[in-house]
Amino acid sequence: MVFKNIDDLRLRKLAELAVSTGINVKKGQPVVITASVDAAPFARLCAEVAYEYGAKFVYMLWHDDLMSKINFQNADISQFEVIPDYRVAQYDHFIDEKVARLNIVDDVPGIFSDVDASKMAANAKAAGQAFKRYRDYSMANHGQWTIVAVPSVGWANLVFPNEDDQVAVDKMWEAILSASRVTKDNDPIADWKAHNAALETRNNALNEYNFKALHFTNELGTDLVVGLADSHRWAGGSEIAGNGQVFNPNIPTEENFTMPHRENVNGVVYSTKPLDYQGVLIEDFKLEFKDGKVISSLAKQNDEKLTQLLDTDEGSRHIGEVALISHDSPIQNSGILFYNTLFDENASCHLALGAAYPMNIIGGTTMSEEELKTYGFNSSMNHVDFMFGSADMNIKGIKHDGEEVSLFENGNFVI
Ligand code: ZN
Ligand code: ZN
């Protein structure tokens, strides 16, 4: 049903976009695709396209959240505290093979809301530790990776609650394709080239300023000074992987982002969109920072889940990313709340709790973690983006000599 009404032409364009602009698979390179069993038709199409573009082999990792839920509801917590060696060995093999990773997402927001939170936390911690090497492989861009979305019925029902299943799914397809810049008569790959060039122009302008800090204020009560890491570098749009391939980590993407200094964030920030964390929706929350650390937090919905996120590890109370997006942006203007960070983060300024990206430091992808930390890098098994942009957001950039530059007025870029 999910793939019933969508036309083959746009489906194929999205698959080609994911394989070429997204991971830009190199001739002879293996590809790892992750997809839910409900997204199988699109995942198989991506595999075929990957071979057309020269992939050596496609490893397909299927998952099924309903099956995971059965395990969470029935198995003892001890089953979630350790990741078996054979699974770690599988990912070590992928790194040794220098794979490109294509992640297809269709998660149903809130699907795990009635699952025992301590089991989920145990699982997240065990997975975070066991798969550190694989996570670092992607976060430091050693290999290309991308995330692309397709609808699921549960997700579509949440976004379009007053529609029948099929109508909701069809609307979801239109929303995803439009946000991903795929239309019936465009050349998405060419459109993405132009889009990447525009993002790069803004990165260059922000790098030129070399701000010491950014000061965010709005009516909701956000008053936050985010110090930037030393030798930080603005990124957004395409990136270059360690193997020289130019790739796009997110489809869609609208953001310019950089690295905050892990010990230099002070003030209060209020969220402006719900956050789907491990299948639980955390809503209307505020965080108070002192010297880079979250010292108090409060959410109107699922406050325990927010606390659990912050307590995952030491780095989860610090931020690893600050991203700027004009309120007047395609996804915001669609008026659709996706309840999915891949989309909602591209409609709003956001911060990420947890790990920073080494590429946001000049020369960072070849530095050791110890060296990165001397610049203000934050390390964590989490990287969870949350949205705090608003129509009345003002942002001032503070230069090292104290001069202030207005970056955002009433929600939008003014540089
Ligand atoms: Zn971001
Ligand atoms: Zn992020």
* pLDDT tens track for 275-319: 989 889 999 999 999 999 999 999 999 999 999 999 999 999 999
The ligand whose atoms approach the alpha carbon of 324 most closely is 1
Residue 1: per-residue pLDDT = 74
Tell me how far the alpha carbon of residue 167 lies from the centroid of ligand 1, in angstroms: 30
Chain centroid, CA 268 distance in Å? 23
How many helical (H) and strand (E) elements, i.e. helices and strands, does the chain have?
13, 19
Q: Looking at the predicted structure, is the pLDDT value of residue 164 above 90?
A: yes
pLDDT tier, 140 (very low <50, low <70, confident <90, very high otherwise): confident
Identify the nearest ligand to the CA of 357 by its number: 2
pLDDT tens-digit profile of 337-349? 999 989 999 999 9
The predicted pLDDT at position 251 comes to: 97
**Local structure of 219: helix, strand or coil:** coil
For the chain, give every domain's residue range. Answer: 8-179, 210-232+253-413
Q: 350 C-alpha to center of ligand 1: Å?
A: 7
Q: How far is ligand 1, taken at its centre, from the CA of residue 354, in Å?
A: 12
- pLDDT at residue 55 above 80? yes
d(CA 187, ligand 2 centre) in Å: 27
- Average pLDDT (45-74) is 97
Question: What is the per-residue pLDDT for 2?
Answer: 82
At 362, the amino acid letter reads I
Q: What is the pLDDT of residue 5?
A: 84
Is the predicted pLDDT of residue 390 greater than 80, yes or no?
yes
User: If you measure from the C-alpha of residue 141 to the centroid of ligand 2, how many angstroms do you get, rounded to a whole number?
Assistant: 14
Mean pLDDT of all residues belonging to the chain: 96
Query: If you measure from the C-alpha of residue 385 to the centroid of ligand 1, how many angstroms do you get, rounded to a whole number?
Result: 7
**Nearest-10 Cα torsion for 390, 396, 397, 402:** -160
**pTM for this entry:** 0.90
User: What are the Cα distances from residue 285, in Å, to 67, 200, 268, 301?
Assistant: 31, 32, 11, 8
Q: Is the sign of the CA dihedral 226, 229, 233, 236 positive or negative?
A: negative
Q: Ligand 2 center to residue 25 CA distance, Å? A: 23
Residue 247 backbone dihedrals phi, psi, to 5 degrees:
-145, 165
When pLDDT is cut at 50, 70 and 90, the band that residue 21 belongs to is: very high
- For position 93, what pLDDT does the model report? 96
User: What's the confidence (pLDDT) of residue 3?
Assistant: 83
CA 319 – CA 263 distance, rounded (Å): 9
What separation in Å is there between the alpha carbon of 307 and the centre of ligand 2? Answer: 19
Q: Token pair of 172, please?
A: 């979801």
* Nearest ligand to the CA atom of 322: 1
Percent of the chain with pLDDT over 70: 100
- For residue 255, which ligand has an atom nearest its CA? 1
CA 258–ligand 1 middle distance (angstroms): 9
Q: Read off the tokens for 150.
A: 């397709």
Any residues with CB less than 8 A from the CB of 52 and at least 6 apart, and which? Answer: none
Q: Residue 261 in contact with residue 211, Cβ under 8 Å? A: no
Residue 166 confidence (pLDDT) above 90: yes
Centre of ligand 1 from the C-alpha of residue 407, in Å: 18
Question: What confidence tier does 94 reach under pLDDT thresholds 50, 70, 90?
Answer: very high
Question: How many angstroms separate the alpha carbon of residue 340 from the centre of ligand 2?
Answer: 12
Banded pLDDT at 256 (limits 50, 70, 90): very high
Whether 233 and 207 have beta carbons less than 8 Å apart is answered as yes
Distance CA(31)–CA(57), nearest Å, equals 6
CA–centroid distance, 145 to ligand 1, in Å, is 15
pLDDT for residue 278 = 87
Which of the four pLDDT bands, split at 50, 70 and 90, describes residue 218? Answer: very high
- Is the pLDDT at 127 greater than 80, yes or no? yes
Distance 387 CA to ligand 1 centre (A): 9
Tokens 């310019």 appear where?
256
Q: What pLDDT score does 225 carry?
A: 98
The domain made up of 8-179 has a fold known as Thermophilic metalloprotease-like (3.40.1830)
| pLDDT tens per residue across span 360-379 | 999 998 999 999 999 999 99
The CA 297 to ligand 2 mean position distance, Å, reads 20
